[in-house]
Chain A
Amino acid sequence: MKELWKRKDLLGLQELSSEEIQLILDTADSFKEISLRAIKKVPALRGKTIVNLFLEPSTRTRTSFELAAKRLSADTVNISASASSFTKGETLKDTARNLQALKIDILIMRHSAAGSARFLADILDASVINAGDGAHEHPTQALLDLFTLKQKKGKIKNLNVTIIGDILHSRVARSNIWGLTKLGANVTVAGPATLMPVGIERLGVTVCTDVNKAIKQADAINILRIQMERQKTNLFPSIREYRDLYGIDLEKLKNASKDILVMHPGPINRDVEISSEVADSSYSVILDQVTNGLAVRMAVLYLVAGSAAVLEVN
C-alpha cells in the first residue's frame, strides 16, 4: 500500500488522483478497528514528532488529529494562535523554520489564509498536512465525508451528493467537490446566489439556488455551517430568512429520498442551517463522520510519515 503514496504533504484533494484518494480510504478502513480496542494504540509512528499548528479556532479537527497521532504512538505538540509567537509579530515562515530546527516530522496546520499550507510545504522538509487553509481546502474533512458516504452507501460512483449553504467561503465544499467528482459522484451545490463562488460550475458541479429542487434526487446532502456574521456583509438578509429558504428541516426532507444521508462538517448551528430534528434523526450521520475522521486522519498521518513507519495494526 505504502509504495503507492509518494507525497511528502497532503495539501488538498485537487492534486490527488482518484487512486490516491482510494488508497487513503482503504488505509483508513484498516485503521478503523484500532479505536474499537480496549488499548487504542499501535506503535506505527513511535518516535515521530507531530506538531498541531492551529491558527484558527478548532475543537473537532484538532482533537481528531491529536488523537490520531497519539493512537499511532507519535509525540504531539499543540500550538495555538493566542499562545504562539504570532502575537509577538513573528512571521509564519520564521515560526515554521524554528519548528524545522526542532526536527519535527509532521506539521498539521490550520490557517485563515488560503495557500498557507502550500507556502510551508515548499519551505519545510517536514510533511505538511493541511487542516484547513482559508476558503481553499480541508482535505481530511472531505476524505472523512467520502469515507462515511462509502461506508453507508457502499459506493461513491454515481451517487448524487448535494452540498448546501455557504459555498463561497467553504474549504469543505471545495475539497468535497474535488474528491466527489474524482470518484465519480454527481455533485450539486445549492444555496443563495450570493454565497456561490464565481465559475463554480466549471468544476463539474450543478448549481441550484432552490434547495428543495437540489435535495430531491440526492442520495446524500452535506450541510455547511452558516456563519452568523455573514449577514452583516449583506450576503443574505437575515438568519430567519436563511432558515426558511435554505435551512434543512423535516418538512424539506419530505420530498427527498427516504434513505437520504444528512452530513454536516460541524459545528452545527442547531435550527439555523439544520433543524434539531434533522440533526438528531436517523438520516443524520454527523457523529459517524466524527468517528470516521479519526481513522482517516490516522491513515493520512501514517501515509505521509512514509516508509520509516511500520504498520503494526494487527
Chain B
Amino acid sequence: MDILIKGGRIVDPSQDFDCIADLGINMGKIVACGSGIKEKANKVVDATGLIVVPGLIDMHVHFREPGMEEKETIYTGMRAAAKGGFSSVATMPNTKPATDNEGIVKYILTKTAEKPLINVFPVAAATLARDGKQMTEIGELKKAGAVALSDDGDCITNSALLRRILEYAGSLDMPVLEHCEDPVLSGQGVMNESIMSTILGLKGIPAASEVVMVARDLTLCKMTGSRLHIQHVSSAGSVELIRWAKSKGVPVTAETAPHYLVLTDDDLHSYSTMLKVKPPIGSKHDREELIKAVKDGTIDAIASDHAPHLHAEKDVEFDYAPFGMIGLESSIPLIMETLINPGILDFKDLVRLMSLNPANILGLKGKGSLKRGADGDVTLIDPEKEVVLTKDYFESKSINTPFLNWKCKGAPTSLFVSGKQILKDEKIIG
C-alpha cells in the first residue's frame, strides 16, 4: 500500500470505531482500518498520540473567485482549508458574477484543478443573480458539478418561490441551504439587538429576524418533504424550532459556526469590526443553547462561514464594515480549546459535526468515513499541540478574524487528500 498511518487514535463514527489502530491508504482509497496492520507500505506515518479522523469538511466557505480575488482566490482558500485540516469545502455562490450557471460552476472546478490541494464542491445559486426572483437551471447546475443550492448571504424571501425551489430541487435530490433572515426585520442593524446594542448605540438585529424565517422554512420543508439545510444558526429560538421540527420528522438539517459557540455579543464592547458578522453573534443564552444543540444532534454540522474581507474594508467605523470573518484555520483550534478540552464535546462529536454529517447532507460519496473503499481523505489532529493564532498561522489572503493571537491547545497537524499528503507538521506541502 502507499501509506500506513500507524498507532493513532482512529475516531470514525461511521463505523462506530474509536481505538488506537492503523490506517492503510492505497491508490487514493482507504484499504485497511484496524489494529496491527502488517502489510508493507511505501510510506509510514507515525500517528502516536494523534487523533486520526475522516478528512474534515467545511460545508460553508466563501472563496471569492471569480470576482473578488483581492480578498481570496480558490487557491488561497484551499491553502486556508488545508491548514485548518479540511480535505473538502463547499463554496458559496455569492461570487461576482454569482455562481448561477454551469459556466461558473465549471470555472470553479477548473481553477481548483489547476493547482489542486483539496476537494472543492461548488454550491450554486438557487435563483438567478441571487436576486430571489427566478429559479436557476438546477438540473444543469447539478450536471456541471454543483452539490447544493443556496442564495447564501440573502434569504429567499419569496415563500412561493422557495416552495417551488424545494419541490424542484428535491426531485433532483439537491439540498437547499438557506440563509434565514428577514431583511426587513434586520433593517440597517449591525449587531444583535440586546442590552449591548443599546449601550453601544449600534442598530440591532433582533434574533426574531432569523427565527421567523426558520419557522417559515420549516413549514415549507414539512410541506414539500424536500431536504432543507439551515445555515449558520445563531439563536436559541431557531434551535428550539429545529428541535421541534426534527421531532416531527421534518427532513431538515442545520449548521452553526464556531464563533457562535465561542463568542457572545458582550465581546462587541470594543466595537471591533472583526466581530461584525451575519447573523450577528448572540447572547450568552443563545451560545448555551447552541452548544446543547450541537451536542444533542439538533444541529448537525459546524461550518466556518469563512468570509474573507480586506483589512482596509474592516478598518473603518463599525457601521461601514462588511459582515463576515474568516474561519477555516481557526475552527479546529477553537473547538479544541473551548469545547473538546473542557469535555463539552468529544472527538466523535467533532467528526460527526465536521465530516460525517456534512458529507451526508451534501451527498458526498466516499467522504466522512474511514471505511474500506472510502476516499483517502484523512486529518490528523494533535490534541496536545499548543498554537497561537498569529498572522503567520493564517493562509487565507485576508486576516479578518477576532481570534488573532488566541492561544489554543489542539490543532490539525497533517492532512491527506486522496492519499496525498497536503499538510505535514502544520505546513502545506501539496
For A, the interface residue count at a CB cutoff of 8 angstroms equals 25
Q: Is the CB of B201 within 8 A of A198?
A: no
A113 sits at the interface (CB 8 A):
yes
Residues of A with C-beta under 8 A to B316? 91-93
Q: Which residue of chain B has the shortest Cβ distance to A170 in the bound complex?
A: B201
Task: Produce 1/0 per residue, A88-99, CB < 8 A to B.
Answer: 000111000000
| Best-surrounded residue of A112, A113, A115, A118 (most CB of chain B within 10 A) | A115
User: What string of 1s and 0s marks CB contacts (under 8 Å) between B194-210 and chain A?
Assistant: 11011111111000000
Contacts of A171 in B (CB 8 A): 201
B197 / chain A contacts, CB cutoff of 8 Å = 197-198
Tell me, yes or no, whether B315 is within 8 Å of chain A by CB. Answer: yes
User: Would A198 and B200 count as touching, CB distance under 8 A?
Assistant: no
Interface residues of A in 176-200 (CB under 8 A from B): 197-200
Which of A113, A135, A197 is close to B317, meaning CB atoms less than 8 Å apart?
A: A113
Query: A81 in the interface, Cβ–Cβ < 8 Å?
Result: no
Say which residue of B193, B199, B203, B315 sits within 8 Å of A174 (CB atoms): B199
Scan residues 69-127 of chain A and give those whose CB is less than 8 A from a CB of chain B.
91-93, 111-116, 118-119
29 contacts between A and B (CB under 8 A): A14-B199, A91-B312, A91-B315, A91-B316, A93-B316, A111-B317, A114-B200, A114-B202, A114-B271, A114-B318, A115-B200, A115-B271, A115-B317, A116-B317, A116-B318, A118-B271, A119-B318, A134-B201, A134-B202, A134-B319, A135-B201, A136-B200, A136-B201, A137-B201, A174-B198, A198-B195, A198-B197, A202-B195, A203-B195
Interface residues of A (CB under 8 A from B): 14, 91-93, 111-116, 118-119, 133-137, 171, 174, 197-200, 202-203
B406 interfacial by beta-carbon distance below 8 Å: no
B: number of interface residues (CB 8 Å): 20
As a 0/1 sequence over residues 173 to 208 of chain B, the CB contacts with chain A under 8 angstroms (1 = contact) are: 000000000000000000001110111111110000
Instruction: Tell me the bound Cα distance from A202 to B197 in angstroms.
Output: 13
Q: Is B107 an interface residue (CB 8 A)?
A: no
- Indicate if B244 sits at the interface (CB-CB under 8 A): no
Give the interface centre of A93, A118, A119, A203 by most chain B CB atoms within 10 Å: A119
| CB pair B315 A115 closer than 8 Å | no
Question: Smallest distance from the beta carbon of B116 to chain A beta carbons, Å?
Answer: 38
> Cβ of A137: which chain B residues have Cβ within 8 Å of it?
201
**In the bound complex, CA of A269 to CA of B195 (Å):** 29
Asked whether A93 and B315 contact (CB < 8 A) given A198-B197, A199-B194, A202-B195, the answer is yes
Which residues of A are found within 8 Å of B271, using beta-carbon distances? 114-115, 118-119
Alpha-carbon distance A171/B203, docked complex (angstroms): 13
Residues of chain B having any CB pair with chain A under 8 Å: 193-195, 197-204, 270-271, 312, 315-320
Residue among B194, B315, B318, B319 making CB contact with A198, cutoff 8 Å: B194
Residues of B within 8 A of A199 (CB): 194-195, 198
User: Within the assembled complex, what's the spacing in Å between the Cα atoms of A201 and B200?
Assistant: 15
Query: Which B residues lie within 8 Å of A118 (CB)?
Result: 270-271
Contacts of A197 in B (CB 8 A): 197-198, 204
CB distance A113 to B199 under 8 Å? no
**Please, which residue of chain A has its CB at the minimum distance from the CB of B196?**
A199
CA distance A197 to B318 in the complex (A): 19
Contacts of B194 in A (CB 8 A): 198-199
- Judging by beta carbons under 8 Å apart, are B195 and A119 in contact? no
- Tell whether A115 pairs with B204 under 8 Å between CB atoms, given A198-B193, A198-B195, A199-B198: no
By beta carbon, the residue of chain A nearest B270 is A118
Besides A112-B319, A119-B271, A199-B198, 15 other A-B contacts (C-beta < 8 A): A91-B312, A113-B319, A114-B201, A114-B318, A116-B317, A134-B201, A135-B203, A171-B201, A174-B199, A197-B198, A197-B204, A198-B194, A199-B195, A200-B198, A203-B195
Whether the pair B201, A174 counts as a contact (CB closer than 8 A) is yes
Chain B residues with Cβ below 8 Å from A134 are 201-202, 319
Which residue of the partner chain A has the closest CB to B198?
Answer: A197
Complex Cα–Cα for A171 and B202 (A): 11
A134 CA to B194 CA, complexed, in Å:
17
Lowest 6 CB-CB distances: which A-B pairs, in order? A136-B201, A199-B195, A115-B271, A135-B201, A113-B317, A114-B201
Q: Which residues does chain A contribute within 8 Å of B320, judged by CB atoms?
A: 113
A114 vs B308: C-alpha distance when bound (angstroms): 24
Name the A residues within 8 Å of B315 (CB-CB): 91, 93
Query: Which of A137, A198, A200 counts the most B-chain CB atoms under 10 A from its CB?
Result: A198
Q: Name the distance in Å between A143's Cβ and chain B's nearest Cβ.
A: 17
Residues of A within 8 A of B195 (CB): 198-200, 202-203
Residues of A within 8 A of B319 (CB): 112-114, 134
Residues of A within 8 A of B270 (CB): 118
Residue of A nearest to B188 (CB): A233
CA distance A160 to B271 in the complex (A): 32
- With A and B bound together, what is the CA distance between A197 and B197 in angstroms? 8
Q: Are A119 and B199 in contact (CB under 8 A)?
A: no
In the complex, residue of chain A having the shortest beta-carbon distance to the beta carbon of B197: A198
**Distance (whole angstroms) from the CB of B209 to the closest CB of chain A:** 13
A199 to B204, CA, bound (A): 12
List chain B residues, Cβ under 8 A from A174. 198-199, 201
> Which residue on chain B has the smallest CB distance to residue A136?
B201
Measured between C-beta atoms, what is the minimum distance from A10 to chain B in Å?
A: 16
Q: Closest CB of chain B to A307's CB: distance in Å?
A: 28
Expressed in whole angstroms, the Cα–Cα distance for A37 and B271 within the complex equals 43
The answer to whether A133 and B201 touch across the interface, beta carbons within 8 angstroms, is: yes
Q: For residue B200, which residues in chain A have a CB less than 8 angstroms away from its CB? A: 114-115, 136
Residue pair B318, A115 in contact (C-beta under 8 Å): yes
Instruction: For A133, give the chain B residue with the smallest CB separation.
Output: B201
Taking CB as reference atom, which chain B residue is nearest A199? Answer: B195
Minimal Cβ-Cβ distance residue in B for A118 = B271
Q: A91-B312, A114-B271, A118-B271 are in contact. Are A198 and B317 (CB under 8 A)?
A: no
A136 proximity list for chain B (CB < 8 A): 200-202
Residue of B nearest to A138 (CB): B201
* A123 closest partner in B (C-beta): B315
A177 to B88, CA, bound (A): 52
Q: What is the CA–CA distance of A115 and B200 in the complex, to the nearest angstrom? A: 7
Q: In chain B, what residue has the closest Cβ to A137?
A: B201
Could you tell me if A198 and B312 are in contact, using CB atoms closer than 8 angstroms?
A: no
- Minimum CB–CB distance from B199 to chain A (whole Å) comes to 7
- Minimal beta-carbon separation of B94 from chain A (angstroms): 24
Specify the chain A residue showing the minimal Cβ separation from B315. Answer: A93
Using CB atoms, name the residue of chain B closest to A91.
B316
Residues of A within 8 A of B199 (CB): 14, 174, 203
* Closest residue on chain B to residue A55 by CB atoms: B317
Chain B hits for A112, CB < 8 A:
319
CB neighbours (8 Å) of A114 from chain B are: 200-202, 271, 318-319
Residue of A nearest to B206 (CB): A198
Nearest chain B residue, comparing its CB with the CB of A178: B199
